[in-house]
Structure 1
């Protein structure tokens, strides 16, 4: 990783909706470093000096640190200007890229970082982009010593690191995990910014290109070890949580699969089968979701339908997606829990023989997922890159979070910053 540069981290897209919260989180971590007699050299980057200055002023007011306005450098940079991206990349060890949707704006940043030996972290939940970057830049990143790691936000740090935590907590061999996401809102309700909505719309519309990318990569299938994990239905009742549930539509399954492939092929570890679901509550929510889901899936298949979804997000989401995003009160009242049910084989038992004989339940929980937990996860991933260098893979490349951070202290760092990993029930025979 690049050293001897003016900055250790640069937040690119700092004036965007998510970027502003990433700036606040970096400022908090930098303050922690100062208290521990350390330092974190960082800057913000984007197109408008005025907007970037306003973000720093907002962070200064919120954190009570007026010096932010004068101490944090501003780098003017535009995703459509390769020379400005190169200039940014040359000045830092790590770029925290908050400019999405990544399928439209992500690759120029990755390219600039790779060419200049700079590591890059993003919060993309778009498998086509994530796996496309592996196809196009993994070898060059390895040559340059740059670590490129996507999906370091809510998609998919809780899921990917949660599976690894479950694996490390089981005395035996973990072979399969199901996760169930529950999102909780306070009295003010909740909402999602339209930028996140756009990523979802275009991501689901691009399945054919994702298949094409995977064919070009040409990975062999991951072997199934132990009893095969049975997939649930489109809507089902989860007895363990006493709620109706549906398959989770985000990037978690594809990201976890990439991690398990890496750990199996590079570290010779037993691969873990994985399925992801989200709870939706009672039967009334099931009926609402069926109508909304059918309309969404019908529209997302066609160009005119995608334009309608993007142009009128509030209408098609029943007011849940807004151009303003969630309010501070909504974020304060929201939280998430991800429960993991794992099964495997006790120590000394051959996973290829017989049925699983041990189970475990773990949980990852944290604050509002999109704009509180995501900045925490992204910034702590950056800290792990900076501070846990001896525990990273020896060569650069394009990695999933679990592949890159499996041997680092990332989970410990997250636990200390409000994203908590815990064992709910001990393994039982």
Structure 2
């Protein structure tokens, strides 16, 4: 299909939990972009129609004219290619991505369709970079993973801190501070809060990480090297552990890419997760170690996947978490930047510290924030292609969007970036 006849955006997996949030946010954000055309796609026409009706009722927007692309099945490559050929930018909300994502990416490349997803699966991201980067460049398209809450705020947050540092930024230590309202904890006890697809992705990711790789440390190639802090340490008046999410992986990819692209000195990055109490943090360490061991043993891995509620002590649900359960929760990154003032000798000890804060608020900020981030990623490709890298391919959001106005749009939609402390 000629590009001029395509929808600007197609949301694949729109009837899923994340997909519904993307539809709802696009209906809201789309009021300011009335010229952008979009459609929803998935297996069941009835489910997709129900999603549009529910979002129309909730937002007051008439979505009866939104096109439904039904009967799209990842096991049917022809249906996936047909969907991709109808879109300029495809938003893929259908995970786990290691299981269902590659066929969509392959079809996007063949159809010359830009591809975005919310995957934080390092194994999947590495696979795409190794297998599809060259063909994506030849097709003139972008393949950008982790466009949701993981890892757009953190990835762009490091670039924001660097732009406002006023010198040379050497390293960033990021601390994720979370707040969960009491009703969310009550919902956890009643019916669970973690979707099974997320649980499956976590188990498979842990199972695929070689033990040798877990023990390896990055070779120090930047001086002074940012050392990993102790497994359990105290900072910002909280107990902290290394953050196991995708942020480290994605941001280090961004920095390596910018070094190879522009010769820019890489910013070293380490991320941590905070806890209010020592015993909560200690219990988390023990639980994660135990879970990691179980993932490596085939029979216990099957138990984890077949009996998720039992094995997660009620955290996992096969259905969708109750709507509104995560309202009033908050996510905040405190990014502690260290480096040198302009004109300082980079061979000496860093003499400047700047702290940036990235906060995600609003109703159900985890999923709504994810929807907001990926929608503006799509809009940026559509509207600001001239400000993105000349050469396309597989890359991070930090590389693709660093010169665009996406940060301004996120600022206006409950994802705030600010400098809170500047110590010369």
Above 0.5 in TM-score? yes
Unaligned runs of 5+ in 1: 212-220
In structure 2, stretches of 5+ residues that fail to align are: 186-192
Alignment of 1:66-85 (within 5 A): 67-85=62-80
Q: What pairs up with 1:242-261 in 2 under 5 angstroms?
A: 242-261=237-256
Match of 1:362 among 356, 360, 364: 356
- 2:26 alignment partner in structure 1: 26
Structure 2 counterpart SS, 1:285: helix
Q: What aligned pairs does 1:187-206 form with structure 2 within 5 A after superposition?
A: 187-190=182-185, 191-206=193-208
C-alpha distance in 2 between matches for 1:316 and 1:169: 45
Distance 1:209 1:53, change over 3 A: farther
Aligned to 2:226: 229
Q: Is 2:91–2:115's contact at 8 Å kept on the other side of the alignment? A: yes
Q: What residue number does 1:215 align with? A: none
Q: Distance in 2 between matches of 1:148 and 1:259?
A: 14
Using the alignment, how far apart are the partners of 1:209 and 1:132 within structure 2?
19
1:288 aligns with 2:290: no
Q: Deviations over 1:72-97 (max 9, x none)?
A: 43343111111111111111100000
Partner residue, 2:317:
322
- The answer to whether the 8 Å contact 1:94/1:118 transfers is yes
Compared with structure 1, are the counterparts of its residues 247 and 335 closer, same or farther at alpha carbon in structure 2 (3 Å cutoff)? same
- Pairwise CA distance, 1:223: 7.2
Which residue pairs with 2:189 in the alignment?
none
Question: Cα gap change, 1:16/1:292 in structure 2, threshold over 3 Å: closer, same or farther?
Answer: same
The 8 Å contact of residues 125 and 199 in structure 1, kept in 2 or not, is answered as no
- Provide the residue aligned with 2:398 in structure 1: 402
Instruction: Please provide the CA RMSD for this pair.
Output: 2.0
Distance 2:291 2:314 in 1: 14
Shift of 1:369: 4.8
Note if contact 1:226-1:356 (Cα within 8 Å) is conserved in structure 2. Answer: no
The alpha-carbon deviation at position 68 of structure 1 amounts to 0.4
Q: Does 1:425 align with 2:416?
A: no
Instruction: Give the Å deviation of 1:335.
Output: 1.6
Hey, what does 1:12 align to over in structure 2?
12
> Is residue 2:344 matched to residue 1:349?
yes
327, 331, 334: which one aligns with 1:332: 327
> Is 1:106 aligned to 2:106, yes or no?
no
- 2:151 maps to which residue? 156
What's the TM-score, normalizing by structure 2? 0.93
1:193, CA displacement in angstroms? 1.6
State the Cα distance separating 1:164 from its structure 2 match.
Answer: 0.7
Task: Give how far 1:312 is off.
Answer: 2.6
Structure 1 347/225 Cα, relative in aligned 2: closer, same or farther at 3 Å?
farther
- Within the alignment, does 1:60 sit opposite 2:62 as a pair? no
The separation in 1 between residues aligned to 2:139 and 2:127, in whole angstroms, is 18
User: In 2, distance between residues paired with 1:388 and 1:125?
Assistant: 25
State the Cα deviation string for residues 98-152 of structure 1 (Å, max 9, x = none): 1111001110000000111100000001111001101000011000101000011
TM-score under structure 1 length normalisation: 0.92
Q: Is the 8 A contact 1:128 1:209 kept in 2?
A: no
Give the SS at the match of 2:326: helix
| Deviates further, 6-15 or 196-205 | 196-205
Structure 1 CA distance for aligned equivalents of residues 169 and 354 of structure 2: 9
Asked if the contact 2:176–2:331 (Cα under 8 Å) also holds between the matched residues in 1, the reply is yes
Which deviates the most, 201-210 or 223-232? 201-210
Deviations 1:343-365 (A, max 9, x none): 011111232x1100111100111
Which among 373, 386, 393 is matched to residue 390 of structure 1? 386
Higher alpha-carbon deviation: 378-387 or 170-179: 378-387
Cα pair 1:224 1:273 within 8 Å, conserved: no
Task: Confirm whether residue 371 of structure 1 aligns to residue 373 of structure 2.
Answer: no
> Is 2:120 the partner of 1:125?
yes
Match of 1:217 in 2: none
Distance in 2, matches of 1:311 and 1:337, equals 34
Q: Deviations over 1:26-64 (max 9, x none)?
A: 111212223xxxx11000001110111111111111111
Whole-angstrom distance in 2 between the partners of 1:336 and 1:325: 21
Q: In 2, distance between residues paired with 1:401 and 1:210?
A: 29
Separation in structure 2 between the aligned mates of residue 40 and residue 76 of structure 1, nearest angstrom: 24
